Amino acid sequence: MVVFSYLSNKLYGYAGKIAESAFFIHLAGKIRRFYLVQFRKNYVEAQLKRREGECRQCARCCSLAFRCPLLTRENLCLTYMKGRPDVCKLFPIDRRDMNDVAISGGECGYCFKQGNYSGSK
């Protein structure tokens, strides 16, 4: 986990230095979310308990770094009701994901209650 945090922080740091590149910030977010969903299930579960609100179905999160191939021309997900990958179902995992959406000009319909995560690492 320490190595991942270090690399993630470095990647976010480099992204900021490359002309505040939204692409690199979003790419780092995709990698971080994949890691969390696959290897930090306790963290994700605790975060989801703090999450409030609902999806606005604006498809901003589906277009971070690159456009999802499951989006229609009308920006609707072909697998929204059935078959979505876990990383999609669980978005946003934390405040950083909402910041990624904001960088792309969107506003996520979710928010997170205050509180510290106290799950096992």
Whether 51 and 92 have beta carbons less than 8 Å apart is answered as yes
CA distances from 31 to 18, 50, 72, 76, 115 (A): 18, 22, 24, 23, 25
H/E stretch holding 9 reads: helix 2-17
Which amino acid type is present at position 72? T
The predicted model scores a pTM of 0.74
**Predicted pLDDT at 69:** 93
What are the pLDDT digits (tens) for 22-50? 888 888 899 999 999 999 999 999 999 99
